[in-house]
Amino acid sequence: MEYNNKLRVIELFAGVGGFRLGLQKANEKLFDIVWANQWEPSRKTQDAFDCYSRNFNTGIHSNEDITTVSDETFHNLQPNLLVGGFPCQDYSVARTKSGEQGIQGKKGVLFWEIKRVIEHTHPKYVLLENVDRLLKSPSSQRGRDFAVMLATFRDLNYTVEWRVINAAEYGMAQRRRRVFIFAYKNGISFEKKQSGLSPEAIVFNEGFFAKPFPVEQEPYKNRVSSVRLPEDIVKISDEFSHAFHTAGYMKHGQVFTSHVTPVLEEPIPLREILIDEEAVPEKFFLTEANIEKFAYLRGPKKIERTTADGHVYNFSEGGMSPTDELDKPGRTMLTSEGSVNRSTHIVEVEGKKRFLTPVECERLNGFPDNWTDGMPDRMRYFCMGNALVVDLIQRMGERIEEIENTNEMAQVQMELSVFS
């Protein structure tokens, strides 16, 4: 379908471009990425940014500290959609010294940059990704940080849906769990349509996530709850706590949340993402010393340790398989992938044990082969450990396209009714 009005997209914390790649796979004629920012502090080489710039040749590519980008820059971009994967940080807030000037967030927290961009652009849609522990942080006040985020969107006049998605449960090659947050501006066609539905219908059937990522109709172990967020965001920061489940909906500060069970799709097994064994360079095969080290790291252990103040305790760790099962999807890939680390994938093919190659790690996340070629192997692993699963974003992009099609049809019908 041809679109008269493309969706202008801003990509924050772009990494190597997983959001952009997924949206382009959904429909590159609809999604026009006009500006993307990627900046790695304290690094002389900007490998992720260089990778992004090699693979994409349209739009503005920004390699600067996001906090130094002017409000005017964002205002002039006029985005319809803002996307980004941002760090899980401490989102506590406090009253400013004068009191009347509102609140201030903790310095250096990048979510406040997302807030700043939204305040100066008011996009129709916002799509964000984070680690799923965001819903429970901090441990001393469970759910506070996510509640502060929800209240921020409420105060910016947005409705919010969220869902924790394990990519392998929806047919992909990696057991990677992440929380996705979709916020949409109150007053747009989609919000008006959704406002006629119950929160249960949105979370289980009709919502942004429920369509492309269907779930069973009954909540897991009857885990359902509702709560109203306090009006004062400082009160939320100081006192609020709530058990947010894996899916939910927030409108005007009223929250509905439930632990949902995915309708499972057959995942891609690890063996299907492996390259031809004859093409694997020798450096990726384990040495005898490495084999011995991994046997210890992946084995069960109980170690006596002493804290700085002299307290003695036992650290215990269960055992895991010496190698990763080739008939199952890969485990969650971390930034330490490829190093001698318990979490690193080890495969055994034709009797030989080895690391995954960088290309195989790209495939775990749904990137094209050699997407990160041009940077050191260590950084290729690091970037893939930070990346998201592209095909998840493709599905979300297709859902946004569906919403846009509905909006256009509603607009046409309204115009026809005017002239009839």
DSSP-based three-state secondary structure for 71? helix
Query: Looking at the predicted structure, is the pLDDT value of residue 1 above 80?
Result: no
pLDDT digits (tens, 9 = 90+) for 149-199: 999 999 999 999 999 999 999 999 999 999 999 999 999 999 999 999 999
- For 361, the enclosing helix (H) or strand (E) is helix 358-364
Q: For residue 308, is it within any domain?
A: yes
CATH number at residue 298: 3.90.120.10
pLDDT tens figures, 70-126? 999 999 999 999 999 988 777 778 776 655 455 667 766 899 999 999 999 999 999
What is the per-residue pLDDT for 312? 86
CA of 78: how far to CAs of 6, 22, 111, 381, in Å?
12, 21, 20, 35
Is 183 in the same domain as 214?
A: yes
- The answer to whether residue 419 sits within a structural domain is no
Number of structural domains the chain divides into: 2
Half-sphere exposure of 300 (CA within 13 A, CB side): 2
Instruction: Indicate whether 302 belongs to any domain.
Output: yes
3-state secondary structure of 375: strand
- Pair (300, 338) in one structural domain: yes
Q: Is pTM, for the whole model, over 0.85?
A: yes
Q: Which of the residues are catalytic? A: 88
Separation of alpha carbons 216 and 313, rounded Å: 43
What residues contact 194, with CB distance under 8 A and at least 6 apart? 159, 202, 206, 207
Residues in CB range of 339: below 8 A, 6 or more apart: 378, 381
- Which of 15-19, 118-122, 414-418 is least confident? 414-418
Burial level of 163, CB count in 10 A (0-12/13-18/19+)? buried
Question: Looking at the structure, do residues 333 and 402 belong to the same domain, yes or no?
Answer: no
Which residue's structure tokens are 């692993």?
381
Pairwise CA distance, residues 402 & 230, whole Å: 34
As a whole number, the mean pLDDT across the chain is 93
8 A C-beta contact, residue 114 and residue 156: no
The answer to whether residues 242 and 153 belong to one domain is: yes
State pLDDT tens for residues 128-142: 999 999 999 998 999
Q: What CATH number did the domain enclosing 167 receive?
A: 3.40.50.150
Q: Are residues 280 and 223 in the same domain?
A: no
pLDDT higher than 50, residue 419: no
Tell me if 16 sits within 8 A of 48, measured CB to CB.
Answer: yes
Each residue's pLDDT tens digit, 303-350: 888 888 888 888 888 999 999 999 999 999 999 999 999 999 999 999
Is 296 exposed, middle or buried, given 0-12, 13-18 or 19+ CB atoms closer than 10 A? exposed
Cβ–Cβ under 8 Å, residues 5 and 29:
no
Residue 352 β-bridge partners: 349
Beta partners for 355?
346
| Residue 1 within any structural domain of the chain | no
Which range of residues forms the domain containing residue 193? 7-265+392-414
User: Do 225 and 279 lie in a common domain?
Assistant: no
Instruction: Clarify whether residues 310 and 380 are in a common domain.
Output: yes
DSSP annotation of 267: P
